[in-house]
Structure 1
Amino acid sequence: MHLDESPPRPQRLDTTPTSPDIPLKGNESISSVSSSTSLKSIISDAEEDKNPGKTFTKNVPSLKKKKNVVKTFGHEERFDPQKEADVPLPPVRKSALYDEISKKGADFAGSSAFPTYQTVLSQTYKLVAAIDFGTTYSGYAFSWKKDPANFVTLKSSSSDKLSEKEPSVLLMDRSEHLVDFGQEAVLKYKEFCEEKLQQDYFYFSNFKMTLHRNENLSRKTIIQDDKGRECLAVTVFSLSIKYFKERLLHQLDKSKDHCSNEDIRWVLTVPAIWGEQAKQLMQESAEMAGISQHKLMLALEPEVAAVFVKEIQIERQADELSKYRPGKKFLVMDLGGGTADLTAMEVVDDGSLKQLHRACGGDWGGNKVNDNFFKFLGSLFGHSVIKECEERYRSDFLDLQKEIEVMKRKFGKGDYMYNSPPKFQIPYMYQTFIKEHHKMELKAIVANSEFSQDAFLSDNGKLKLSAKLIETLLFNPVVNCIKQETENVLHELRGQIQDIMMVGGFSESEFVYQTIKESFPRTKLLRANEAGLAVLKGAVLYGHSPGVISSRRCAFTYGVGLYRVFLKGHDPEDLKCKIQGEDNIPVFVKMVTVGDEVGIGETFDLDEEIFPVKKDAPQMSFKIYRSALDNPVYIDESSIQIGKLTVKNITSSVRISLCFGLTQITVMAVNTDTKENAIAELDLLGEL
């Protein structure tokens, strides 16, 4: 049999070792798989067979099936290592391991998040409290177990009525102690700025987006304040969560119904498009804030918005009013300040929701409109000039941000807006600085600019912008991304979606609503009542009944990185490495594929035993990877490492089981010979 050369491969990742041998430190060991020998024998048989017309068979373990399958190789069929079925790696199957361990009543608390999730559900509680931590606004809500739909929400101290939640703003002193959060933090900081005391304080706003933009999060990840000074992200998030926790407990202390922290099941919302590292960072931040992991659940924002929609959306069917019924398929468009999150759901027969399409979206939230406005000012007066004004006159900058927030909600496509274009007050100190810098009146600068047909500055410093300019420069760059992503989802689902439900603060924008409605005339567009609170109230309902979500779709292909014997002539040379003197290659052992439907709590086993490379090592480590490809074969540049799984207390070999159906990836391990559980620690924030 003739074996073709593999096509050229991308350069090896830095984490992939080459010769000389990979060093093994102390008691640690990298992992290997028991099927590597059989793979080597298959290729040896093939190479020894010199008759190209002769056909032979060999049993090859398959990734997709528990049983071995028979593959036939002959002169008409060439061995292609890119084809998943031709790469003999440990098969994956739905797990009986969890049931096996559960019968023993083993307590895995602290070893992985999956058993902790089970622990959360087993805990008694009187009340569910949800914290919706948004990019622009944040808040909490709760309800008692005896009356889940009777919500109590945070009473915002803000007087602008732009949201029923607090601005996501944290004010901290030099000792990293909380000064205030929300509207009170904004007001105090403005006073400090006017008194020239701002250098003594850290002011953080819109910091949630750090966790979305950074794909290499760790416990050392930093966030910059408005002056570029750094602080650990876990410190900023934990102080913010602690603020809401203590404020809620204080509210409960004043009520007639006594409830302690131990009686509360906490729910913390996160965007569905966040990576696994970001979720773990939020979980650890909550624990630093005094919320035990045994009392905490993470909830995906568009999912819980769908839960709220399912319960509150009333429609007429057969001359009667009812909630969404089984068979209803709808798309939730969660438009917040930082991100746009889309998820398609179906109401199934038991009333629960299953995901029809993997969560998708991007950083197309309402704050992008704000950013585009300041970019426009930079184009008008000079980017460095506007940046200098922002840094010098923080109080004025905050006032200007508030004006934009008001405009975003009111601006629409109607004739009224064209006849009465929005006006923005350019702060006096901005005017003075710009005039001194350019040695020219602001009116003249605007009149001589490329925007002279669509921008006009009045004598009192009000900047009038045409509706055309606002639509083209401020809104369209954001809304067009949302439209395209929505179109992609609807196309993939081929007409299944009956309704689009808009939730989130940015969905309250008239322009966004009208644009989406015009773009998808064949689909019914609805905007949820209390759109800005849909995620928050849905999270409370989810906390009472987590089973309301019955299945999810995998956002990526996930697997573990293992080594097998290098196949000369088939495997890419640039990925070859030596382990204890033998040529090996790192391979992607797939466990679930992007887009797969996974039931909540459904787990997957690597079906074969995994041995440490260093014999008798008491522990070994695996690297967990994700890929956008359906069938990744090697650990190369298409694979992104998201964490490390360490298995301790190994007696000989282990079987591992991973769960992808929860809001976080979770893991278990058991010793093959003794059937006793091993300690499995999944760290997504440590050194990779």
Structure 2
Amino acid sequence: IDMHTRCVISVCGAPCLGKEHGFETPKTPTCILFNEDEEFFKFGYDAKMAYTKMSNQEAKKYYLFENFKMSLYGKQLNRNLTIEATNGKSMSAMKVITETLRYLKEHALKTVNDNMAGAKLTASDFTWVLTLPAIWDASSKQFMREAATETGIVTERTVDKLVIALEPEAASLWCKKLPSDGFVTETSVKEKLEQAPGTQYIVADCGGGTIDITVHEVLDGGALKELYKASGNGLGGQLVDQKFKNFLKEIFSDDLWDEYERTYPAELQRMMYGFSIVKCADEDVEISCPFNLGELAQKRQNIEMFFKTVQGASWDEGAIKISKEKMRSFYDESLSGITKNLKEIQKEDFRISYILLVGGFASSEILRKHITKQFGKQCRMLCPFGAQEAIIKGAVMYGKRPELVASRKSAFTYGISVSERFDESKHKAEKLLSNKEGKWCLDIFKQMVKIGEDVGWDETREHMFSPIAADQTSCVFRFFRTERENPMYVDEWGLDPLGSCTVAMPDTRRGMNRNIKLEITFGSTEIKATATDIDSNSTAFVKIDFMSS
């Protein structure tokens, strides 16, 4: 085995582990089950099926978490966050994520070692690539890295063996190398993603939970430059499934449906799996009515009567027929959200040639046709075969060569607190500090990088500072972020503290004529800073903390 092999973990789900249950999907659902003592029990389809076979009393004791990735979306995370299970009970989000990653790590290692003819590899023999939505807040990315460290995927000394890949970037890298027959085509014309430097295209990662959109430009040598800070929403394919369930509830009445969902969850799970297959086609669909749903309905009235008052559905000898128009209506909210995001990008001064659709939701013909209809006159739509796996395959490429994404847009303005000579004409009186060396203004915000600015993937920025007192023996650097471009003071509205570091300055012989070098790395998914006192070579290191506790 190649010792540089990358193990890729996606928070969208794992490689398919559900064939024994009759489910043929590229990835296992993000689903984990804990027992009443909050100990790991099952994952993926195993978790779903075990839970659905439990009695109501037993199920009340357990903790089933489904699609919990969305619990991290749109939140400023902290280490005390709890998330809610399907039965209303709560657990630590860090534990849920940690046990998920632990299971995937152990499953991957077992799979490899079972095929190693006697050799035994450990987690440290691999570089691990963790894929995350680009629209996640920096605190979510840090949350995932800490969870991965907790599982033993990496340690504090091997942190460089965990690479965080952003999902639309990974998919973009994979699709760039595909030939023309690697893409779905609605016509006889076959196309592939243009490789010429200067080519600009939108990447829309349409997953089950989130819609994750960014813009890339191809550079000389084939690397990518991010042109537009990742945007998106939480209106992915799972919303279509929920609309379908709501429609069934409308057909059969609230109380009947609630009884069915509560009493026959396994049967409902199989029905939803069937729906996930037929929903991809833009046509009338026919779904077999589950036995127990039909039985409950027949006890109340002739089952055909339930369809008399609804539009877009009919009963046909044991099957529920849903019209193409009604199927499309389940997509309305999702498509509206995607369209809004894409139109926002079109307002910018880009030269967009393509819209690249990836992710499991991109397999929907309704989605592809909608994007083509809305934007086909301005650019071409491309969707790879196996759109759901494109992220995983591209993540392996990124793990080997992270420089393939040459630069990204900074999501925030980052800076530090400094002091400068006091100027009565522009500084607040309450910020004044006087010492033997003169008058100083405290709490000035010094910008390190501006929101929307291009930052190289491995870029380090260097700044030099001097003490404000001849006998100063230490210097504190306090870090902040904001969505404002350049505020005056660090205690103004909209600024969030991110942490601090203190560097010793024990050699005071040169008084004020001393320097501290501050080096900050912005380009990766984490921000790191090192402060060095030049005279004594004393250093201090800080990894910016995006989580509040």
Q: Do both proteins adopt the same fold according to a TM-score greater than 0.5, normalized to the shorter chain?
A: yes
Q: Which has the higher contact order (CA 8 A, sep 6+)?
A: 1
How many residues align structurally?
522
- Using a 3 Å threshold, how does the CA distance of structure 1 residues 478 and 170 change in structure 2: closer, same or farther? same
CA contact (8 A) 1:270 1:300 kept: yes
Corresponding position of 1:30: none
Q: Distance in 1 between matches of 2:257 and 2:473?
A: 60
Q: How does 1:389-400 map to 2 (within 5 A)?
A: 390-391=261-262, 393-400=264-271
- Using a 3 Å threshold, how does the CA distance of structure 1 residues 338 and 349 change in structure 2: closer, same or farther? same
Instruction: Tell me by how many angstroms 1:605 deviates.
Output: 4.2
Instruction: Tell me by how many angstroms 1:348 deviates.
Output: 1.6
- Which of residues 160, 163, 168 is equivalent to 1:294? 160
Q: Distance in 2 between matches of 1:155 and 1:444?
A: 40
Corresponding position of 1:604: 461
Q: How does 1:612-627 map to 2 (within 5 A)?
A: 620=476, 622-627=478-483
Instruction: Tell me by how many angstroms 1:304 deviates.
Output: 1.0
Q: How does 1:20-169 map to 2 (within 5 A)?
A: 125-134=3-12, 137-139=13-15, 157=19, 160=22, 162-169=24-31
Instruction: Tell me by how many angstroms 1:446 deviates.
Output: 5.2
616-625 or 523-532: bigger deviation: 616-625
- Which of residues 377, 392, 397 is equivalent to 1:536? 392
Q: Distance in 1 between matches of 2:542 and 2:534?
A: 14
CA contact (8 A) 2:528 2:543 kept: no
SS in 1 for 2:241: helix
- Using a 3 Å threshold, how does the CA distance of structure 1 residues 322 and 361 change in structure 2: closer, same or farther? closer
- Using a 3 Å threshold, how does the CA distance of structure 1 residues 409 and 560 change in structure 2: closer, same or farther? farther
Instruction: Tell me by how many angstroms 1:509 deviates.
Output: 0.7
Whether 1:207 aligns to 2:73 is: no
Instruction: Tell me by how many angstroms 1:388 deviates.
Output: 6.7
- Using a 3 Å threshold, how does the CA distance of structure 1 residues 585 and 634 change in structure 2: closer, same or farther? same
Instruction: Tell me by how many angstroms 1:666 deviates.
Output: 2.5
Q: Distance in 2 between matches of 1:579 and 1:163?
A: 65
Q: Distance in 2 between matches of 1:235 and 1:584?
A: 45
TM-score (norm: length of structure 2): 0.83
Corresponding position of 1:511: 366
CA contact (8 A) 1:340 1:482 kept: yes
**Residue type of the partner of 2:79?**
R
**Residue type of the partner of 1:603?**
T
Q: How does 1:635-650 map to 2 (within 5 A)?
A: 639=494, 641=496, 644-650=498-504
Q: Distance in 2 between matches of 1:298 and 1:221?
A: 22
SS in 2 for 1:684: coil
Instruction: Tell me by how many angstroms 1:497 deviates.
Output: 1.9
SS in 2 for 1:192: coil
Corresponding position of 2:509: none
CA contact (8 A) 2:29 2:45 kept: yes
Whether 1:305 aligns to 2:171 is: yes
Corresponding position of 2:185: none
CA contact (8 A) 2:197 2:222 kept: yes
TM-score (norm: length of structure 1): 0.67
Q: Distance in 2 between matches of 1:249 and 1:517?
A: 42
Whether 1:454 aligns to 2:312 is: yes
- Using a 3 Å threshold, how does the CA distance of structure 1 residues 205 and 322 change in structure 2: closer, same or farther? closer
Q: Distance in 1 between matches of 2:382 and 2:94?
A: 37
CA contact (8 A) 2:74 2:137 kept: no
- Larger CA Rg, structure 1 vs 2: 1
Whether 1:479 aligns to 2:335 is: yes
Instruction: Tell me by how many angstroms 1:583 deviates.
Output: 12
**Residue type of the partner of 2:68?**
F
- Using a 3 Å threshold, how does the CA distance of structure 1 residues 618 and 339 change in structure 2: closer, same or farther? same
SS in 1 for 2:273: helix
**Residue type of the partner of 2:34?**
M
CA contact (8 A) 2:173 2:398 kept: yes
Q: Distance in 2 between matches of 1:617 and 1:385?
A: 74
Instruction: Tell me by how many angstroms 1:424 deviates.
Output: 6.7
SS in 2 for 1:324: coil
Q: CA RMSD in A?
A: 3.9
Instruction: Tell me by how many angstroms 1:404 deviates.
Output: 3.3
Instruction: Tell me by how many angstroms 1:453 deviates.
Output: 3.1
Instruction: Tell me by how many angstroms 1:376 deviates.
Output: 4.1
- Which of residues 345, 349, 354 is equivalent to 1:489? 345
Q: Distance in 1 between matches of 2:465 and 2:521?
A: 17
SS in 1 for 2:525: coil
Q: Distance in 2 between matches of 1:393 and 1:572?
A: 68
Whether 1:285 aligns to 2:147 is: yes
Instruction: Tell me by how many angstroms 1:268 deviates.
Output: 0.4
- Which of residues 244, 257, 262 is equivalent to 2:104? 244
- Using a 3 Å threshold, how does the CA distance of structure 1 residues 295 and 571 change in structure 2: closer, same or farther? same
Q: Distance in 2 between matches of 1:555 and 1:326?
A: 25
**Residue type of the partner of 1:299?**
A
CA contact (8 A) 2:501 2:542 kept: yes
- Using a 3 Å threshold, how does the CA distance of structure 1 residues 399 and 603 change in structure 2: closer, same or farther? same
- Which of residues 80, 90, 112 is equivalent to 1:220? 80
Instruction: Tell me by how many angstroms 1:232 deviates.
Output: 0.9
SS in 2 for 1:129: strand
Q: Distance in 1 between matches of 2:63 and 2:394?
A: 33
**Residue type of the partner of 1:225?**
A
**Residue type of the partner of 1:268?**
L
Whether 1:229 aligns to 2:100 is: no
SS in 2 for 1:175: coil
Whether 1:335 aligns to 2:197 is: no
CA contact (8 A) 2:33 2:64 kept: yes
Q: Distance in 1 between matches of 2:531 and 2:295?
A: 65
- Using a 3 Å threshold, how does the CA distance of structure 1 residues 555 and 321 change in structure 2: closer, same or farther? closer
Q: Could you report, residue by residue, the CA deviation over 1:550-589 in whole angstroms, capped at 9, with x for unpaired residues?
A: 111122333346688999997899xx78999x99886644
SS in 1 for 2:498: strand
Alignment gaps of 5+ in structure 2: 183-189, 507-514
Instruction: Tell me by how many angstroms 1:243 deviates.
Output: 1.0
Q: Distance in 1 between matches of 2:246 and 2:192?
A: 48
Q: Distance in 2 between matches of 1:386 and 1:568?
A: 71
Whether 1:657 aligns to 2:523 is: no
Q: Distance in 2 between matches of 1:547 and 1:525?
A: 26
**Residue type of the partner of 2:201?**
F
CA contact (8 A) 1:158 1:166 kept: no
Q: Distance in 1 between matches of 2:244 and 2:179?
A: 35
**Residue type of the partner of 2:353?**
Q
Q: Distance in 1 between matches of 2:254 and 2:449?
A: 47
CA contact (8 A) 1:425 1:463 kept: yes
Identity %: 26
Whether 1:545 aligns to 2:401 is: yes
Q: Distance in 2 between matches of 1:577 and 1:382?
A: 66
Q: Distance in 2 between matches of 1:569 and 1:375?
A: 63
Q: Distance in 2 between matches of 1:588 and 1:440?
A: 71
SS in 2 for 1:555: coil
SS in 2 for 1:492: coil
Q: Could you report, residue by residue, the CA deviation over 1:611-633 in whole angstroms, capped at 9, with x for unpaired residues?
A: 79xx9786846252231x44444
CA contact (8 A) 1:158 1:183 kept: no
Q: Distance in 2 between matches of 1:530 and 1:295?
A: 28
Q: Distance in 2 between matches of 1:423 and 1:315?
A: 32
Q: Distance in 2 between matches of 1:405 and 1:163?
A: 10
CA contact (8 A) 1:331 1:499 kept: yes
Instruction: Tell me by how many angstroms 1:510 deviates.
Output: 0.9
Q: Distance in 2 between matches of 1:458 and 1:187?
A: 29
Whether 1:362 aligns to 2:362 is: no
Q: Could you report, residue by residue, the CA deviation over 1:448-486 in whole angstroms, capped at 9, with x for unpaired residues?
A: 4xxx333445685x54443323323x1011012112212
- Using a 3 Å threshold, how does the CA distance of structure 1 residues 648 and 466 change in structure 2: closer, same or farther? same
**Residue type of the partner of 1:454?**
G
